[in-house]
Amino acid sequence: MKKVEDYIRTIPDFPEPGIMFRDVTSVIQDADGLALAIDELDNLLYGVDYDVIVGPESRGFIFGVPIAYKNHKPFVPVRKKGKLPCETIEVSYDLEYGSATLEIHKDAIKPGQKVVIIDDLIATGGTTQAIISLIERLGGVVVKIAFLMELAGLEGRKLLEGYDVASVVTYPGK
């Protein structure tokens, strides 16, 4: 029986020399790989009491929505600045090369709601830390963070200390 990592394509030296790029498109372009990825992420939520799933644009949407559907939970998108039509709150954060701003609808999370964050990858943890800040500003409580892949060499978990973080596949390097 295949595992999720069997569907992940590794591209050496992309986007720069020394980087082993873990390509999620090879997972989602295969029906069996996609089903397995969704099921494995969903398994990480076993026994977790939660009200809503949050996922960042765009790959958090790919994995978060089917899990929300499967468990009859709402899905809340976190998007790049200027993409959401109603009143939002935002957070800006630093990236490896520059900065980014994320937004969430101001009414998307109710105070006290238990939130699961789903995304494809944890690298440095900066994007997830920014999402957590948005959720907590709205009064939500992050009860679980689940990733399909983790690049352990970038130590993103350190930034998320104190939160329940799990990954389906962990790679030791960058």
Q: At 129, give phi and psi (nearest 5°).
A: -60, -40
Mind telling me the catalytic residues? 59, 96
- How many Å apart are CA 2 and CA 159, to the nearest integer? 32
Cα separation, 145 vs 122, whole angstroms: 10
d(C-alpha 91, C-alpha 86), whole Å: 16
21 sits in which H/E element: strand 20-23
The separation between CA 11 and the C-alpha centre of its own chain, rounded to angstroms, equals 21
